[in-house]
Amino acid sequence: MTMKGFDHGNRGIGVRNHQLILPSVVCSTRVSSRIAKEMDAITFAHQHGCGFIGNDVGRITDYFAALANHPNVSSTLIVGLGCETLQGNELADKLLSKNKSTNYLVTQESGGVQGTVDSGVAAAKELRTKYPTPQVVLPRLHLGIDLSNESPVVTDLVAALADVGVDVTISSSHKNSGLNFSDLMEAGVHVILSFPDSNQPASGFPLIPTINVASNSPLHLALKDDFDLFASSSVAEIIEKIYAVVNGEQTKVEVIGAGEIIAAREVRSV
């Protein structure tokens, strides 16, 4: 099976071609969403970047860096406010050492909200022009499995994926899919196959297409339209769906635009 990919330089070859508008602090999430909407780029809301201390500063900086360095990302525009703890320019420097297709801007130095949206759109366009993304063949797929719920199909599935040369990372540390997604993102997986807890709905992660597999729980049966696959799906059907998604088919949560990040913290905010 040939898999389509996008050459994202040092980030690797991705299965999506997403520009990331990364708010480095909660205060710039709205500005980021305005830029992303205009550019048809990816962004997300979060509550981090300021009023935090201790290990969390490094933890969240590393988390954002992992997002920006993800293979599904074509280029990254960091949007900061200016006075926050997590400084956008330091994050940008960290990213630039690996990927030149990175830029950052700061609301307090860009004339306010409208000024930042305008310069943000211009900067995002410039990144796209300067760093075009060649379409290539994806040589090797890295699949992440969120095993929030036990599934009898997984053992056979992992064996079958190994046979066809797919790398697999399984995260089952949490009952919370969102936290497993974050672990899988940091591992750099191209696509996530999620088996959510039987009492949890289908959910997704920004940048990474997420295929949701239902269990036979009453909740999942009631929500079957939100799932891509079912408890009855065979190994062959699951693999077929994975290849379709790699080659561009949107998952149910991608269609809805769902995808929140859940980033863990050690210490309460100050």
Q: Which residues bind another protein (CB under 8 A)?
A: 26-31, 45-47, 50-54, 59, 81-85, 87, 107-108, 111-115, 174-179, 199-204, 218-219, 222-226, 256-270
What strands lie across the sheet with 135-137, from one edge to the other? 13-14, 4-7, 135-137
**Token pair for 96:** 């630039």
Q: Could you say which DSSP state residue 113 is in?
A: H
Closer CB to another protein, 7 or 183, in the complex: 183
Q: How far is CA 1 from CA 4, 138, 164, 238, 242, in A?
A: 10, 10, 9, 14, 11
Closer CB to another protein, 122 or 222, in the complex: 222
The least distance separating another protein from the CB of residue 220, rounded to whole angstroms, comes to 10
Query: Are the C-beta atoms of 51 and 270 separated by less than 8 Å?
Result: yes
The least distance separating another protein from the CB of residue 65, rounded to whole angstroms, comes to 18
Sign, Cα dihedral of 147, 265, 208, 210 = positive
Closer CB to another protein, 33 or 76, in the complex: 33
Query: Are the C-beta atoms of 18 and 42 separated by less than 8 Å?
Result: yes
The least distance separating another protein from the CB of residue 141, rounded to whole angstroms, comes to 25
Closer CB to another protein, 124 or 214, in the complex: 214
The least distance separating another protein from the CB of residue 176, rounded to whole angstroms, comes to 6
The least distance separating another protein from the CB of residue 207, rounded to whole angstroms, comes to 14
Query: Are the C-beta atoms of 261 and 44 separated by less than 8 Å?
Result: yes
Closer CB to another protein, 97 or 114, in the complex: 114
SS3 160: helix
In this structure, how many other beta carbons lie within 10 angstroms of the beta carbon of residue 134? 10
Closer CB to another protein, 118 or 167, in the complex: 118
- Where would I find the beta strands (DSSP E) of the chain? 4-7, 13-14, 18-23, 73-80, 102-106, 135-137, 142-147, 167-171, 191-195, 210-212
The least distance separating another protein from the CB of residue 80, rounded to whole angstroms, comes to 11
